[in-house]
Structures are given as structure tokens and as C-alpha cells.
Structure 1
Amino acid sequence: MLDMEWPDSWRGSFRIELRAEAISLAERGWPILPGTISPGEGADWEYPAPAHENWQDRLGAHPRQVAAWFTGKPCSLLVATGTMVDALEVGDELGRRAASLLRVTGRPAPIVAMPNGRWLFLTASTDAVHPALAENEDVTCHGRDGYVPLPPTPYRQGVVHWRVKPEIWGWRLPEASTVHEVLVRALLGEHDDAAVAGSTTSVLAPEDQPAAAPSAA
């Protein structure tokens, strides 16, 4: 499903949509970057890489500069992690369970679904990650010096898309501790029918609780 395989009319419309999304996120302070397009699929699926080698020096660029980056040749849409936004990447089963717990407890978080079956839970940046998440093979923590793809980045087998859009939470990134807590509960096998009863019980140690999440609005 690579951009280059689409009809010209679709290709042009898609590039406009991707550019508009990049500008919108940059206007809200998100550290947006253009990335490469991955030709891989299945076991060969791989993350796109930043299009510029000095991408870390380009963080916080003005939306006009971001617009220029996304004008012209095809690219993917990346957000740098570790400065204002982090991402917890999990497998499909864990992602679905955690998303249902977040929904029932009334704690929505921006959630991204990737075409390789992995989910990204976006949070405010933090240096604290619960050991149960850090040590689990199904969980990848994207923090300092990292980056993840955002919708509508294209791949051969599909397009990265939102399962829960940022505007659902008023463009505010949730506290990392809130999302980490729910993911740990999901790891422990908790289901959404038990979420309300257990929503006031913290599974995070006090030292793992970061300060209040900053606003991205």
C-alpha cells in the first residue's frame, strides 16, 4: 500500500492530508519530523527513520518549516519522543485489553495502531517506567532520543491510524503514570468488567509517579 502504487489523484490527496496533519501537530507544539517510507512488510516491517541525519537539532521547528518538509517527495510522519511525548508500544492483545480498561475508567489516551499489529499509547514524557513494563518482551518504551510514526504514515500493508485521537482528551497528553498503571493491570489479566472496581487502586510505586502532564494545546 505504498504511496507510489496509488493512482495520482489518491497520491496527491494523501500527501495533502499527511502535510496538514504534520502542520496541525506542530502548531500544538508536538516535535514533528519527516521520515522515510518503509518498503518492508510482515517480518520485514521496520520503523521509518528520520529523513534528516541532524533530526535532533530540528526539534521544535516552526510550523512553516514543518510544512516545507512535507512538501514534495513522499515521506512518513514521525514524532520525537523524550521531550514532551513518550510512547509505550505493545502487541495487539495487550493493546486491546488496556484500551478497554482506559475507556471504562474514563481515562482516554491517544492511541495509535500500526499495520504490523502493534499499538502505541502516547503519554507525557517521564523518566519513570514501571519494572513490569520495562521488563516485558511485549512492551517497548520509546523515550529519550527516540521517535515513532504517527497517522497517516503509509506502509505496503496499511496505513498508521488513530484508535483514539488526541482531540478526545482536548490535546492534553495524559500523565504517564496513569497509562502505565492501566497497562500493568492489563498485563496482570484484568478485564474491563473489573476496571471500575479497581480503578482507585494504584499498582505503581510512589517513586514511579511523575508530575502532572503538560498541556500540548
Structure 2
Amino acid sequence: MQWTTDRPFVPLDRLRMRRHAVRFAAHGWAVTPGAFLTGHRFACGRPGCPIMAGHPAMESWEDSASTDPGLVHRWWRHRPYAVLLATGRRFDALEVPASLGLRVFGATRLHRAGAGPVAVTAAGRWMFLVRPGLPLRAELDRRMDVVRHGRGSWIPAPPTRMPEGPVRWAVSPEQTQWMLPAPELVQGLLAEAIGTVREPRLIVPRQLSTSRRAA
């Protein structure tokens, strides 16, 4: 399906988002509805909501995020919500710029050890899903363009649509049989890659789900 930022959602979009959300929940990945793109801003359905960027559609999203497929199915009954995955439970997400993501994605060691799911945004942010709980290494924590999404954070999951285009899988969960790599492995490869790429002029990531998380 070809996306454009000004194309209105149709019923098939809602059904597609719901299908993916239910599939994540069925595999134990906590899901919460997210504001969906209408034109060039996001709408969550809450009256008077001032947030224009991507955000959870529920105020108490962290408490209500669910792995219950039936509940998730009902959430997408009327609106084409974005699909957001709560991090810090079954997995953390290491969000990095494309310069680091591409370098690590091509690393032989990553594929030999078993790469986990990797999502990519059209804005050039790479999200490596890893087992939860490990804080960022010092080399990574110093960079504001590297973000660990743990407890209290979330990431947009494919096929959620962002202003630049849809989120997609570089490595889907099915390809890894829903297995997750050790965070030490991926963080180690990211730390090695830092020395091989040029320091960015703009160090604040273009897409950042929440404030920086390390807990």
C-alpha cells in the first residue's frame, strides 16, 4: 500500500492496524493505541489534546497497555490508531541514527549471534529490540542521538504511519521467531560503530518517543 501524508484513512487502514496490534499482543508484547496521522498532524480523539506529534491515545497508557488480544481488538474498533509498543517489559528498544543502525545491521557478528527484530522509520531512526533491563554503556549514553527505550517509554511499530512515511521492519519478529538478542551484544556493536561514523551536527533525534529513558 502506498502512503501519502495527506491521504485520509479508510476502513482497511483500521483493520490493518488492528491485525498487527492483535498479533503483537498475542505474542506477549504490550500494545497501546497511538494518535493517528490526519494530514500533517496526529489526532488521538481526546477533546482539546494539544499534542501535535505522535503520542499515546490514552492518558494512562502505561497502566493500560495490554497483551490481551480481545481488548486490543476492541481498541481498534472505531479508529485507525497507530500501533505503539510499550518498552521495558518484554524488550527494550535501542533507537539510533541511520549512520549507526546501518553499520551495526551489516555487522557479521550480529547476524552470526542472531539478530533480533529491527524497525526503521522513514525519518532514518533505527530501533533494535533487545532483552530488557541493561542501561546504556557510557559511550552510548553520552550521545543524545542514541536512546534506550525502557520502562515508561514506547516505540511506534510497523506499519504505523509517521509524517515522513510508514515504519517498517528491517528484520521482522517472524524472521527471528520472536527471539531477542542480548543487549550487551548490540550495545557493544553500537559502541564500536561510533568510532567509524562522523559525529552528527544535530545530536537531538528527529523522532523521539518520550524523554530519554535509562531506568
TM-score, length basis structure 2:
0.77
2:92 is aligned, of 81, 86, 89, to 86
Stretch of structure 1 that moved more, 163-172 or 179-188: 179-188
1:57-77 CA-partner distances (Å, limit 9, x unpaired): 213341100011122112110
Match of 1:201 in 2: none
**Structure 1 segments unaligned to the other structure (5+ residues):** 191-217
Hey, which of these two has a bigger chunk of helix by percent?
Answer: 1
1:65 is aligned, of 71, 79, 88, to 71
1:45-95 CA-partner distances (Å, limit 9, x unpaired): x85211111112213341100011122112110001112211111111111
Stretch of structure 1 that moved more, 24-33 or 101-110: 101-110
The letter of the residue matching 2:169 is W
Q: Tell me the secondary structure at the aligned position of residue 106 of structure 2.
A: helix
Match of 1:111 in 2: 118
Relative to structure 1, is the Cα distance of residues 181 and 151 closer, same or farther in structure 2, using a 3 angstrom cutoff? same
Q: Distance in 1 between matches of 2:162 and 2:91?
A: 23
Match of 2:158 in 1: 151
Match of 1:36 in 2: 35
Once the 2 structures are TM-superposed, how far is the Cα of residue 5 of structure 1 from its aligned partner?
Answer: 1.4
Match of 1:5 in 2: 7
Q: Tell me the secondary structure at the aligned position of residue 177 of structure 1.
A: helix
8 Å CA contact retained: 2:31, 2:65: yes
Q: Distance in 2 between matches of 1:177 and 1:106?
A: 12
Match of 2:204 in 1: none
Relative to structure 1, is the Cα distance of residues 54 and 107 closer, same or farther in structure 2, using a 3 angstrom cutoff? same
Once the 2 structures are TM-superposed, how far is the Cα of residue 109 of structure 1 from its aligned partner?
Answer: 1.7
Relative to structure 1, is the Cα distance of residues 173 and 106 closer, same or farther in structure 2, using a 3 angstrom cutoff? closer
Match of 1:183 in 2: 190
Once the 2 structures are TM-superposed, how far is the Cα of residue 127 of structure 1 from its aligned partner?
Answer: 3.5
Which 4+ residue blocks in structure 1 deviate beyond 2 angstroms? 1-4, 11-15, 37-41, 102-107
Q: Distance in 1 between matches of 2:134 and 2:113?
A: 25
Matched, 1:52 2:51: no
8 Å CA contact retained: 1:47, 1:148: no
Stretch of structure 1 that moved more, 63-72 or 178-187: 178-187
1:83-114 CA-partner distances (Å, limit 9, x unpaired): 22111111111110010015553431211111
**Structure 2 segments unaligned to the other structure (5+ residues):** 43-51, 198-215
The letter of the residue matching 2:194 is L
The letter of the residue matching 2:11 is G
Match of 1:213 in 2: none
2:143 is aligned, of 118, 136, 144, to 136
Stretch of structure 1 that moved more, 62-71 or 128-137: 128-137
Relative to structure 1, is the Cα distance of residues 105 and 187 closer, same or farther in structure 2, using a 3 angstrom cutoff? farther
Q: Tell me the secondary structure at the aligned position of residue 174 of structure 1.
A: coil
Q: Distance in 2 between matches of 1:142 and 1:92?
A: 17
Give the alignment's Cα RMSD to 1 decimal: 2.3
